[in-house]
């Protein structure tokens, strides 16, 4: 839908951010920009999913690093899982992702380009007008991601799962294999593919374990928290 059409009807928006000042500022900017708006907010992933089901918004604005539930700590893993779920459940919902660090979105690189509606990454350092321009793009079906996301890493979902289980949950290969219902040999092959994608090769002079190097590099790329 075009911005002109949205200005003629009530635009339902859900904004998700656990920082109250940023949440309030985003809401204020959007309310001032659109003539008719029905604004809703959430501070956790759990609350966001509940409100999505109830209000059926026409625009979803979300931070990457948010808590799962009240009292939880804000983590990019939570935001990424929320965005992934929203894209699966609401393929026609325009999404604007606000974040100071967009690197974790590389995990959703392919899903983003398969999304059936606008998907925009808006860095928090943008000016008010730049932010509003990004929102209008999303409402008009545009997909925009930073150039760093348009090329580079090609990471499969199974590889991300191995990284998550190893470094976020502390599992060894045997436990990873059991959790993923695959063989240990397949887990080792995933490790080899991950290290190749991250350009990590055995280098004795570095004196750093290959698995440790993999974890460090994966964090640099935003693949794990």
Q: Give the pLDDT band (50/70/90) at residue 217.
A: confident
Span 131-140, pLDDT tens digits: 999 999 999 8
Selection from 8-17, 139-148, 202-211 with the highest mean pLDDT: 8-17
Task: Name the CATH superfamily, with its identifier, for domain 3-150.
Answer: Response regulator (3.40.50.2300)
Query: What b/e sequence results for 30-61 when a residue is b if at least 16 CB atoms lie within 10 Å of its CB, and e otherwise?
Result: beebbeebebbbbbbbbbbbebbeeeebbbbb
* pLDDT tens digits along 149-171: 655 566 778 888 899 899 989 99
Q: Parse the chain into domains and list their residue ranges.
A: 3-150, 157-220
Quick one: 169 exposed, middle or buried, by C-beta within 10 A (0-12, 13-18, 19+)? exposed
Q: Is the pTM of this model over 0.85?
A: no
State the DSSP code for 125.
T
30, 60, 86, 89, 180 from 55: Cα distances, Å: 18, 11, 14, 14, 35
Is the sign of the CA dihedral 156, 199, 215, 78 positive or negative?
Answer: negative
Per-residue pLDDT tens for 8-63?
578 999 999 999 999 999 999 999 998 889 999 999 999 999 999 999 999 999 99
CATH 1.10.10 fits 157-220, yes or no: yes
């Amino acid at each position: 839908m075009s911005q002109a059409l949205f200005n003629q009807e009530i635009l339902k928006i859900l904004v998700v951010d656990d920082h109250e000042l940023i949440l309030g500022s985003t809401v204020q900017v959007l309310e001032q920009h659109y003539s008719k708006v029905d604004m809703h907010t959430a501070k956790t992933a759990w609350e966001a999913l509940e409100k999505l089901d109830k209000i059926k918004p026409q625009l979803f604005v979300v931070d990457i690093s948010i808590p799962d539930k009240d009292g939880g700590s804000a983590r990019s893993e939570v935001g990424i899982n929320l965005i992934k779920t929203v894209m699966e459940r609401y393929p026609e919902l325009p999404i604007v992702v606000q974040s100071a660090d967009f690197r974790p979105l590389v995990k959703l690189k392919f899903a983003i380009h398969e999304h059936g509606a606008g998907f925009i990454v808006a860095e928090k350092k943008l000016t008010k007008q730049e932010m509003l321009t990004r929102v209008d793009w999303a409402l008009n079906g545009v997909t925009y991601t930073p150039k760093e996301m348009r090329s580079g890493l090609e990471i499969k979902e199974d590889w991300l799962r191995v990284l998550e289980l190893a470094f976020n949950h502390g599992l060894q290969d045997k436990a990873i294999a059991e959790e993923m219902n695959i063989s240990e040999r397949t887990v080792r092959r995933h490790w080899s593919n991950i290290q190749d994608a991250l350009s990590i090769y055995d280098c004795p002079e570095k004196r750093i374990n290959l698995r440790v190097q993999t974890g460090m590099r994966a964090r640099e790329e935003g693949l794990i928290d």
